[in-house]
């Protein structure tokens, strides 16, 4: 009998948006598999965690091998793991830029490559990448972060084309500021200035993000691919 479990892989699930996504989709009846470098300190029904770095090719290969064993499938991948840094280009060490690109770009590439292999077996898949309004707003101080997410937008658009015959859609969601650790280090006046550039001038909610993801991963959304949806009116 075909395995009818709806299974989702989410990266960066220890805290912040990723943790919220685990709770939301687990509540909605999904079997969720997540990962982050450190283990999680919460427990959610039918949630399985892998402690790994999203850019570690061997570890990620093993993770998908385990998922794919005995015909295991994946319906949805959410590339959420991400890191940021606020700095002026002239003052930014190259190692910071390398770290940001490793997690945000290489991690997204690697997870998409491995997940699409499993999704192609059933000719169905939904990949959603988490990007940011920092890219279209061209925020000063976020050159490394915004350019890494611009790369993720390009990946989204090209993977949408390369994967379309495999029944896989690839889209991106770009939230405005959300109340997570990612922005806690950013000065309040910077956040206010950023919000001033958006149509909707207050912090976003986690549910704003899940609302768009719900739409993108719906079976009926097979004709929606290669799109980036920014929130807050960026």
Partner 1 sequence: MSPDQPVVDAINSAIDDLNEILDSEERLGQSPEIALIGNDARLDSLGLVNLIVLVEEKIQQRFGVAITLVDERAMSQSKSPFRTLGSLTDFVEEQLNDHGR
Ligand X SMILES: NC(=O)c1ccc[n+]([C@@H]2O[C@H](COP(=O)([O-])OP(=O)(O)OC[C@H]3O[C@@H](n4cnc5c(N)ncnc54)[C@H](OP(=O)(O)O)[C@@H]3O)[C@@H](O)[C@H]2O)c1
The answer to whether 50 contacts partner 1 (rule: CB under 8 A) is no
Q: Binding residues for partner 1, how many (CB under 8 A)? A: 13
* Residues between 144 and 183 that touch partner 1 (CB under 8 A): 165-166
Q: Please enumerate in sequence order all residues whose Cβ is within 8 A of that of 163, keeping only pairs 6 or more positions apart, or say none.
A: 116, 120, 125, 127, 169, 170
Query: What sign results for the dihedral spanned by CA atoms 56, 58, 63, 68?
Result: positive
d(CA 74, CA 25): 14
Shortest Å, Cβ 120 to partner 1? 5
Q: Pick one of ligand X, partner 1, none as the site partner of residue 165 (Cβ within 5 to 8 A by kind).
A: partner 1
Binding map of ligand X across residues 77-116, x = CB under 6 A, - = no contact: ---xxxxx------------------x---x---------
Choices 52-60, 110-118, 192-200, 220-228 (CB under 6 A): range interacting with ligand X = 52-60
DSSP summary character for residue 102: I
The residue among 168 and 194 lying less far from partner 1, judged by its C-beta, is 168
Q: Which alpha helices (H) appear in the chain, and where do they start and end?
A: 16-27, 57-68, 94-101, 107-122, 143-163, 181-184, 188-196, 206-217
Shortest Å, Cβ 33 to partner 1? 16
Choices 38-46, 82-90, 110-118, 204-212 (CB under 8 A): range interacting with partner 1 = 110-118
Rg over alpha carbons for the chain, rounded to the nearest Å, is: 17
């Amino acid at each position: 009998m075909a395995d009818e479990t709806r299974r989702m892989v989410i990266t960066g699930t220890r805290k912040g948006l990723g943790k919220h996504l685990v709770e939301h989709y687990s509540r909605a009846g999904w079997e969720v598999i997540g990962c982050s470098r450190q283990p999680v300190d919460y427990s959610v029904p039918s949630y399985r965690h892998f402690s790994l770095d999203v850019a570690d090719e061997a570890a990620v290969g093993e993770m998908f091998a385990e998922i794919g064993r005995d015909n295991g499938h994946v319906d949805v991948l959410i590339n959420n793991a991400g890191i940021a840094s606020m700095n002026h280009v002239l003052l930014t060490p190259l190692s910071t830029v390398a770290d940001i690109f490793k997690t945000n770009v290489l991690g997204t590439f690697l997870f998409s490559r491995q997940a699409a292999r499993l999704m192609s077996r059933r000719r169905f898949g939904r990949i959603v990448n988490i990007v940011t309004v920092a890219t279209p707003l061209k925020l000063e101080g976020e050159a490394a972060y915004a350019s890494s997410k611009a790369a993720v937008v390009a990946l989204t658009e090209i993977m949408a084309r390369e994967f379309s015959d495999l029944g896989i859609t690839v889209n991106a969601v770009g939230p405005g500021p959300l109340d997570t650790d990612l922005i806690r280090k950013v000065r309040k006046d910077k956040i206010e200035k950023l919000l001033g550039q958006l149509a909707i001038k207050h912090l976003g909610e986690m549910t704003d993000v899940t609302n768009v993801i719900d739409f993108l991963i719906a079976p009926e959304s097979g004709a929606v691919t290669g799109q980036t949806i920014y929130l807050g009116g960026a």
